[in-house]
Structure 1
Amino acid sequence: MGKRRYSRELVIKFLYLVDMNEGSVSEQLDQFWERNDCQPDIKVYVEDLLNTIFKNKEAIDTLLEKYSDNWTLSRMAVIDRNLLRLATCEIMYAAATVPPKVAIDEAVEIAKKYGSEDSPNFINGILDRVLKERKAVAESTSES
């Protein structure tokens, strides 16, 4: 498994932990690292992704609610919700380092491993719509 995939899986595991437990995110992260030893570059990448997700969580969740027809985030499976957050973060805020199609493909592959039978198609459908939003925003910005 590549470093980026492993990093994404750690992000998903941590977001799951935060969703399922109350308490300080920083304390949970300290405990998480005590149980999940990894190379320093992987830790840096994971923490960069987590910081970006938490910094933009409201905007990410708003976008996901917009494209999740008949689904609220609270009704989604925890894994699906957090995979969507991670991939949306990469699509919207890390496109310079992660091609959006790669972010989608990675989310779908991780969904096959950790999600339900329906997770890959569900995640792919929503993320395709998020990508179209990003492209539309980029086009309108370049036209200005």
Structure 2
Amino acid sequence: MGKRREGREAAVQFLFAHELHSEHSTEEQAGFWEIHSAKPNVRAYAEELIRGVLAHLTEIDAIISPIVENFRIERLANVDRNILRVAVHELLHVPDVPAPVIMNEAIEVAKSLGGTESGAFVNGVLHKIASSIRPKPKKAE
């Protein structure tokens, strides 16, 4: 597994715990890394994602909410919600990673950390979001 996949998984796990504890402090983050040992480059990428998601949470949730029409974002499974948040953050703010890679990685993380339907759910939601955030360039005729 690559550093970015591990970083994404760690970021989702941190955000999951963060929602349960409703705080973000240096102590909380240090405690997380004591439990979740990671190589320095994995931790650096995870922390970059965590900072980005928390800094743009309102914007990210505003993008996800209309796509999950029949649910308020708070009603989504905590893991699925945070996988979507990490992926949307990457789509918006990490332009060096192609959209298909972000989507595939999110689906794989969902299969690994989420429920039995998480992969399909994340795929459907991200497909709609990615096409609006990063539309495919039209082919020249």
- Same fold at TM > 0.5: yes
Identity %: 31
Equivalents in 2 of 1:72, 1:12: separation in Å? 19
Equivalents in 2 of 1:5, 1:117: separation in Å? 19
Aligned-pair CA distance for 1:95: 2.1
SS in 2 for 1:4: helix
Partner of 2:37: 37
1:57 to 2:73 alignment: no
Aligned-pair CA distance for 1:47: 1.0
Question: Following superposition of structure 1 onto structure 2, how do residues 1-144 of structure 1 map, counting pairs within 5 Å?
Answer: 1-96=1-96, 98-135=97-134
Unaligned runs of 5+ in 2: none
Aligned-pair CA distance for 1:77: 0.4
> What is the identity, as a one-letter code, of the residue corresponding to 1:14?
F
Contact 1:90 1:103 in 2 (8 A): yes
Equivalents in 2 of 1:70, 1:94: separation in Å? 29
> What is the identity, as a one-letter code, of the residue corresponding to 2:87?
A
Contact 1:112 1:119 in 2 (8 A): yes
Aligned-pair CA distance for 1:18: 0.5
Deviations 1:11-53 (A, max 9, x none): 1110110011133343211111122222222221111111111
> What is the identity, as a one-letter code, of the residue corresponding to 1:60?
I
Equivalents in 2 of 1:132, 1:114: separation in Å? 25
Runs of 4+ in 1 over 2 A off after TM superposition: 22-27
Contact 1:18 1:25 in 2 (8 A): no
SS in 2 for 1:67: coil
Deviations 1:98-132 (A, max 9, x none): 11111110111111111112111111111111111
Unaligned runs of 5+ in 1: 140-144
Root mean square deviation of aligned Cα: 1.6
Aligned length: 137
SS in 1 for 2:87: helix
Please, what TM-score do these two structures have when normalized by structure 1? 0.88
Please, what TM-score do these two structures have when normalized by structure 2? 0.90
Equivalents in 2 of 1:90, 1:128: separation in Å? 14
